[in-house]
């Protein structure tokens, strides 16, 4: 009888100990494999950070390196982009306003890689550069990395290439199969600052609640990007009534909202108060362009091109609108935006023209 009780008890213990082992083995332990010393960055090689696992060129994020994508993307000579954010363990960003960059903690790194999937002649994929913005106690700093031809490493740009910038000749195919050859511009530190300047300090551009209040296809399914940051412990909270931008390519949305979203991500970082072009009449932040005067409608240009181009926006006539002229130009003395592109963004111009031609008001 004693043997029976003993065997029964032993089986009971083995049964439950096995179940406990299964539980332990099934737990997913989240840990960050990122190598980051705020006093040592920027590192000379992108791989040193361990932001990515596997082959570096695949840009597969490590644990706690979170991908994100603004509702509308900044145009950079038709380059595709992959964006990620990483923060030190135990730190969180906070919400300030719909149209203000999230308040990121010291140690935050924003990662953006620029690449093409149709480099000619064989439609190959090639990453050109990866840009980091690193939040130090003194503020944000820039670190730019140029990828080698083998796509095995990206090296920190230093010396005159960082102080003066550089160019890389590329030939790629657009979605409409048109082939474009251009000297892709890799910006200097001062050029980075020119676009990211606000109140004479460098700040990120795209990571605003209005731009991130949209779904993203994470590995576990589509989720609101702000909620994802909350779930990952990267954001304290956010309001439920954010006034948000849209994807300017989404033709189901009103054309004015699409254009305002496009101008916000491409132009507002300069055309806002205390920014590079705040001496101009227009204010192109999404939160300000519900007022058509801020868009330049019936507003005289500071520098008229000629007698037929006096208004920034002439309702109903894109050919008499200075903004259309500037978006159509690649001349450095005329083009808008001045930095970040060397070719015309045909789709952006078409959207602007569609909106201008839909206006039926008369200028006084």
In tens, the pLDDT along 168-199 reads: 999 999 999 999 999 999 998 888 877 877 77
Do 143 and 65 share a structural domain? yes
pLDDT above 70 as % of the chain: 90
**CA distances (Å), origin 270, targets 69, 165, 284, 312:** 21, 20, 9, 16
Do 74 and 107 share a structural domain? yes
Tell me the residue range of the domain where 325 lies: 255-358
Per-residue model confidence (pLDDT) at position 145: 97
Per-residue model confidence (pLDDT) at position 32: 55
Do 227 and 268 share a structural domain? no
Do 195 and 63 share a structural domain? yes
Do 84 and 196 share a structural domain? yes
Count: domains in the chain? 2
Question: Of 165, 196, 231, at which residue does a domain stop?
Answer: 231
Could you tell me if residue 305 is inside a domain?
Answer: yes
Do 187 and 135 share a structural domain? yes
Question: What is the arithmetic mean of pLDDT over 275-301?
Answer: 88
Looking at every residue in the chain, the average pLDDT score rounds to 88
Do 223 and 261 share a structural domain? no
Could you tell me if residue 13 is inside a domain?
Answer: no
Do 60 and 97 share a structural domain? yes
Could you tell me if residue 98 is inside a domain?
Answer: yes
Nearest CA among 205, 208, 212, 196 for reference residue 69: 212
More reliable by pLDDT, 223 or 270: 223
Cα–Cα distance for residue pair 33/81, rounded to 1 Å: 23
Is 206 within 8 Å of 245 (Cβ atoms)? no
Per-residue model confidence (pLDDT) at position 63: 94
Cα–Cα distance for residue pair 261/266, rounded to 1 Å: 9
Do 204 and 70 share a structural domain? yes
Question: Of 231, 263, 279, at which residue does a domain stop?
Answer: 231
Tens of pLDDT, residue by residue over 224-253, are 999 999 999 999 999 999 999 999 999 999
Per-residue model confidence (pLDDT) at position 308: 80
Do 223 and 90 share a structural domain? yes
Is 289 within 8 Å of 210 (Cβ atoms)? no
Per-residue model confidence (pLDDT) at position 305: 79
Do 305 and 197 share a structural domain? no
Do 320 and 200 share a structural domain? no
Per-residue model confidence (pLDDT) at position 19: 34
Q: What pTM does this model have?
A: 0.87
Sign (positive or negative) of CA dihedral 334, 336, 342, 344: negative
pLDDT of residue 69 exceeding 50 = yes
Could you tell me if residue 35 is inside a domain?
Answer: no
pLDDT above 90 as % of the chain: 74
pLDDT of residue 26 exceeding 60 = no
Please state which of the ranges 47-56, 128-137, 194-203, 222-231 shows the lowest mean pLDDT. 194-203
């Amino acid at each position: 009888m004693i043997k029976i009780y003993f065997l029964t008890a032993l089986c009971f213990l083995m049964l439950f100990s096995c179940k406990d082992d299964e539980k332990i083995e099934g737990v997913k332990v989240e840990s960050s494999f990122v190598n980051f010393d705020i006093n040592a960055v920027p590192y000379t090689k992108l791989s040193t950070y361990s932001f990515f696992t596997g082959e570096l060129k695949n840009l597969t994020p490590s644990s706690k390196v979170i991908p994100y994508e603004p509702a509308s993307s900044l145009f950079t000579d038709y380059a595709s982009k992959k964006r990620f954010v990483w923060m030190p363990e135990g730190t969180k960003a906070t919400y300030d306003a719909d149209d203000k960059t999230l308040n990121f903690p010291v140690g935050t790194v924003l990662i953006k890689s620029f690449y093409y999937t149709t480099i000619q002649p064989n439609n190959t994929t090639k990453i050109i550069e990866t840009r980091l913005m690193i939040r130090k106690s003194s503020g944000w700093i820039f670190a730019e990395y140029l990828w080698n031809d083998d796509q095995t490493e990206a090296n920190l740009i230093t010396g005159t290439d960082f102080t003066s910038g550089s160019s890389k000749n590329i030939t790629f195919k657009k979605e409409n199969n048109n082939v474009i050859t251009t000297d892709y511009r890799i910006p200097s530190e001062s050029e980075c600052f020119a676009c990211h300047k606000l109140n004479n300090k460098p700040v990120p551009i795209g990571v605003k609640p209005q731009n991130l209040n949209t779904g993203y296809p994470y590995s576990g399914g589509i989720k609101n990007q702000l909620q994802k940051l909350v779930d990952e412990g990267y954001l304290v909270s956010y309001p439920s009534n954010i006034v948000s931008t849209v994807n300017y390519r989404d033709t189901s949305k009103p054309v004015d909202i699409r254009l305002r979203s496009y101008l916000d991500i491409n132009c507002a970082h300069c055309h806002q108060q205390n920014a590079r072009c705040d001496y101009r009449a227009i204010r192109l932040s999404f939160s300000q362009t519900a007022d058509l005067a801020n868009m330049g409608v019936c507003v005289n240009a500071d520098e008229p091109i000629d007698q037929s181009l006096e208004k920034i926006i002439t309702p109903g006539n894109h050919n008499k609108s200075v903004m259309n002229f500037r978006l159509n130009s690649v001349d450095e003395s005329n083009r808008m935006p001045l930095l970040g592109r060397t070719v015309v963004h045909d789709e952006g111009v078409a959207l602007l023209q569609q909106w201008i031609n839909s206006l039926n008001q008369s200028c006084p």
